[in-house]
Amino acid sequence: MPRTTRNPSPERLFEIASVQAGYFTAAQARSAGYTRQNLAYHVAAGRFERVARGLYRLRQYPSFPYEDVAAAWLKAGPHRAVVSHETALVLHDLSAVRPDKIDLTVERPHRPAGNRPRLPGVRIHTTVQPLDAQDVVRIAGVRVTSAVRTILDAADAGTDLDQIVAAVREGIKRGLFTPSEMEEAARTRRARVRRLISVALQEAGYGSAVH
């Protein structure tokens, strides 16, 4: 259980929220010493904004254009969930097509699949192995799969080839990864994904050695 301080600590709450795009959960606020009454008071005073049930934002913190994504990520658990797949393509600005659901990846729990988090409008993907540090970046404080991991996951999940080609081309153009880095990462995936990445690199104007 998180330790609750005797008095509210604005510094501790800001420390929490500043690495989460300015957002914080009611549980995180309690860990910083804020009671339900404290939260209601600060919402009424205009210091906090109530975004959804159990989710708040520091009103003066720079806004995040994907509030629904941040909310879903926090509800799924900011330490165990990461924005991924087509939603991560959008956050990386590698796609202009927003998916119909928010994609989150969580480590496969050691419990029945039926006990996974159930969040409206969210598509949960699971992974057996914990994500390596190189596979996760932060965008405006939100944990997101890296550009390379995002493209590979999207390709694996059936994203249209045109979107994959555009993402590969844009990622290389912006220096997010090199063709060789994408090729190397693709070698760890199944044959279908390797072929898709090979075609994507060729369509984007780069040769591919992926087989």
Spatial contact of 3 and 31, defined as CB atoms under 8 Å apart: yes
Dihedral sign, Cα of residue 186, residue 187, residue 189, residue 193: positive
Would you state the pLDDT for residue 109?
A: 59
| Tens digits of residue pLDDT in 31-50 | 999 999 999 999 999 999 99
The three-class DSSP label of residue 144 is strand
Q: Is the dihedral of CA 146, 149, 154, 155 positive or negative?
A: positive
What mean pLDDT is predicted for residues 113-119?
Answer: 58
Structure pTM?
0.80
When pLDDT is cut at 50, 70 and 90, the band that residue 161 belongs to is: very high
